Amino acid sequence: MRLHDFRVLSFDCYGTLIDWESGLFAALQPLLVRARITQPRDEVLATFAAHESRQEAATPALPYSALLAEVQAQLARTWGVAPDAAESAAFGASVGSWPAFDDTAVALQYLQRHYKLVILSNVDRTSFAATSPRLGVAFDAVFTAQDVGFYKPDRRNFAYMLERLATMGIARSDILHTAQSLFHDHAPANLVGLASAWIDRRGGAAGWGATSPPPTDVRYDFRFHSMAEMAAAHQAESSAT
Cα–Cα distance measured from residue 39 to residue 25, given in angstroms and rounded to the nearest whole number? 12
Residue 219, SS3 per DSSP: coil
Q: Is 12 a catalytic residue?
A: yes
Q: Which strands, in side-by-side order, build the sheet including 222-224?
A: 141-144, 116-121, 8-11, 175-179, 195-199, 222-224
Non-local CB neighbours of 173 within 8 Å, separated by 6+ positions: 195
Single-letter residue type at 8 = V
Query: Which is the catalytic residue, given 12, 19, 124, 154?
Result: 12
Q: Cα Rg for the chain, rounded, in angstroms? A: 18
Cα–Cα distance measured from residue 131 to residue 98, given in angstroms and rounded to the nearest whole number? 8
Name the residues annotated as catalytic.
12
